[in-house]
Structure 1
Amino acid sequence: MPQLRTTSSSWMRGVAITLNEQGLDAAALFAEVGLSIKDLDDPDHRWPTEELSRLWTLAAERSGNPDIGLANLDAPRPDHYGVAGYAMMSSPDLLTGLTRLIRYMCLVSDAVVITLEPGKGGRWVRTDVFSGECPIPRQRYDYGVVNLLNLCRWMLDRPLTPLAARFSHAVPMSIAAYNKAFQSPLEFDAPFNGFLVSDQDLACKLTTSAPQLAAIHDRIADEALERLVKTDTAHRARAAIAKLLPDGSPLRSAIAAELGLSDRTFQRRLADEGLSFSDLVEDTRRELAQRHLADPRMTLADIGYLLGYADQSTFFRASNRWFGESPGEYRSRVVNGHRREIALARGT
């Protein structure tokens, strides 16, 4: 089974607050997906992200509002990012703040990766979420992207209008909520989710900047990261495996070197987490296959290459092992399922 990815209590507390503010019973919704809202009292509790996706899907259904992820626009809360948020807000400028958030994002959730990518006139603040078995509802992406944008606005203490915003899901029936949240050109059915920040805005000083606290926040965050990494070597290893897979199945020693560990230490840490290296490679390939096959713009040949398979027959055998069907059959089922969800949401 793929390793469980988790989210922090600080982030889940923000989700619970949003649900309650929208007139929903957050405690009841948490319970319905198998979570106990009382665990929010434990700041070290880690929450399974599969259930977070189910929670957002349920919230959209119960509220009757498919834009619920965009509802909480006026309350940016750095505490929802935990110590990563405080490290970010103490930075001298927005670019440094985003760089710090990227460094510490796994403290918020090891299912989420934020990257800065070149764009026309600035950089894209891109968000990728690993789904596992449960498809990611658009509300989860909406909430994460707009939450980060509003935190940037709050730290600058002025309006921040992205040059553009992108979403991987289909265009909804109404884009009014997106226009209100982003106030910028919108692109749907895009290759990723995120917003484009100008170079000028990235260079702007943060009103929350606190040079005397930055080193303290970094030290606290680094200590928290070290504690997490010691119990989640597999998370970093998966990223390294995904990076090297196009060159074929990576050697364990090569992944250990990517992590700055000796082969023996790497093997011991995986054993402590109850994993073998071969299982980790298999899980990473399976997770990447789910993600890529859900994107109809990617060819099966390209996906096979990214998974490190020298020929398509090996990829097809792996797909049958993982999903009980060929890559094309799996893609057809997932894509058609998404289309049915969109049609139901539109009432067609």
Structure 2
Amino acid sequence: MSERTTSSSWVLAIVNGLEMGGVDCRQLFAELGLDYEALTDPDARFSQDGMTRLWGRAVQLSGNPAIGLNLAKVVRPASFHVVGYACMSSRSLKEGFTRLVRFQRIIAEGADLNFRPLPEGYALTLAIHGDRLIPARQSAEASLAYTLAFCRWITGKELRPLKVCFQGEPPADLAPYQQVFQAPLQFNAEHYALVFERADLDAPIPSANPALAQLHDRFAGEYLARFSESRMTHQARQLLCRLLPQGEPKRDTVAQALHLSQRTLQRRLQEEGTSFQQLLDDTRRELAVQYLAQPDLTLLEIAYLLGFADPSNFFRAFRRWFDSTPGEYRAQM
């Protein structure tokens, strides 16, 4: 599993919320081995497990298990990195949530967002994943509280969700939750979620600006591309694409081209949830679809472009990938 990271801009929002709750974060960062100075670097990132330890100690030090809700009081668009500005310039919250889901990894890789219609409205659902540590409940509660407060801020309306869902048992003291969310609370739910009426999410946002939204989309896309390029999986995949037309690339060749030992390459790919063989297979599968969409390429040429010395190996691999032959697949396309 790759080490998930969180943007410094979101961590700074967390720090502001914790300090509002009386926690000395400079001292706490030193205690946990986190770099407090990196909070001012917009490109810095913090490990997901580091954030889990931060929440755990903050709850101990403050004695307040609901401290994550403080993030509703520290709303500023920069906390969501460029994504906050992209949401602000969206035509509606519905469009803003679509952007939030698309660019979520910029803010924090440990969170999975999903936005979907329901019979009664729309749901923004949230799942937080840890690496070695089970993520803190406060992390999800902070995300819900901040997101709702951000929506209220950019719309200028006191939005009240149809309901707010939480995984796990209800806390001993519900008052802070009722005060922040001002909506029916559901515990022991399948997901953390904010559920809204359709009319609230379809209403126009005062700060909507389609030209700015496009600009922010481009910035966010470029950031994600830069971010991906720092990943070993991305670098190795790019190299495989270049090497495949010369025959099946060997692991030692790829490792050498990346100035790594074979063992280091394999370890770093494993940390990112894959292996050399798996990455080779995935890259061939993705390229096969792209090549089949080009009618001027014969199946034999595609087999060689994918590094298969024997075309029959390509046909076998293709049937394993798609449960059909390349010819059948191309006909369906």
TM-score above 0.5, yes or no = yes
Matched residue, 1:55: 54
Aligned AA for 1:214? A
1:80 aligns with 2:79: yes
Specify whether residues 264 and 199 from structure 1 end up closer, same or farther in structure 2 by C-alpha distance, changes over 3 A only.
farther
Matched residue, 1:103: 102
Matched residue, 2:2: 3
Can you give the 5+ residue segments of structure 1 that lack an aligned partner in the other structure? 237-255, 285-348
Alignment of 1:318-337 (within 5 A): none
Matched residue, 2:147: 148
Matched residue, 1:231: 230
Aligned AA for 2:139? R
1:136 aligns with 2:124: no
Specify whether residues 178 and 109 from structure 1 end up closer, same or farther in structure 2 by C-alpha distance, changes over 3 A only.
same
Aligned AA for 2:88? M
Matched residue, 1:219: 218
**C-alpha separation in 2, matches of 1:206 and 1:75:** 20
**C-alpha separation in 2, matches of 1:51 and 1:149:** 25
Matched residue, 2:164: 165
Cα-to-partner distance string for 1:238-288 (whole Å, 9 max, x where unaligned): xxxxxxxxxxxxxxxxxx8xx9x959689969x96955499649948xxxx
**C-alpha separation in 2, matches of 1:217 and 1:27:** 32
Matched residue, 1:287: none
**C-alpha separation in 2, matches of 1:229 and 1:47:** 16
Specify whether residues 276 and 264 from structure 1 end up closer, same or farther in structure 2 by C-alpha distance, changes over 3 A only.
farther
Give the paired residue count: 262
Matched residue, 2:320: none
Matched residue, 1:64: 63
Specify whether residues 156 and 139 from structure 1 end up closer, same or farther in structure 2 by C-alpha distance, changes over 3 A only.
same
1:43 aligns with 2:55: no
**C-alpha separation in 2, matches of 1:263 and 1:53:** 40
Give the deviation of 1:218 after TM superposition.
Answer: 1.3
**C-alpha separation in 1, matches of 2:178 and 2:211:** 38
**C-alpha separation in 1, matches of 2:242 and 2:164:** 42
**C-alpha separation in 2, matches of 1:16 and 1:264:** 46
Give the deviation of 1:66 after TM superposition.
Answer: 0.7
Specify whether residues 276 and 197 from structure 1 end up closer, same or farther in structure 2 by C-alpha distance, changes over 3 A only.
farther
Contact 2:52–2:135 (8 Å) recurs in 1? yes
**C-alpha separation in 1, matches of 2:243 and 2:158:** 51
SS in 1 for 2:30: helix
Matched residue, 1:118: 117
Contact 2:20–2:70 (8 Å) recurs in 1? no
SS in 2 for 1:127: strand
SS in 1 for 2:218: helix
Q: TM-score, normalised by structure 1?
A: 0.68
Aligned AA for 2:206? T
SS in 1 for 2:98: helix
**C-alpha separation in 2, matches of 1:282 and 1:227:** 16
Aligned AA for 2:107? V
**C-alpha separation in 2, matches of 1:81 and 1:39:** 16
Specify whether residues 275 and 152 from structure 1 end up closer, same or farther in structure 2 by C-alpha distance, changes over 3 A only.
farther
**C-alpha separation in 1, matches of 2:267 and 2:53:** 30
SS in 2 for 1:71: helix
SS in 1 for 2:73: coil
Give the deviation of 1:71 after TM superposition.
Answer: 2.2
**C-alpha separation in 2, matches of 1:107 and 1:26:** 23
**C-alpha separation in 2, matches of 1:277 and 1:204:** 49
CA RMSD of aligned residues (A): 3.0
Cα-to-partner distance string for 1:140-170 (whole Å, 9 max, x where unaligned): 1110111111111111111111111111121
Cα-to-partner distance string for 1:38-70 (whole Å, 9 max, x where unaligned): 111222111101010110111111001111011
Aligned AA for 2:53? R
Aligned AA for 1:200? A
Q: TM-score, normalised by structure 2?
A: 0.71
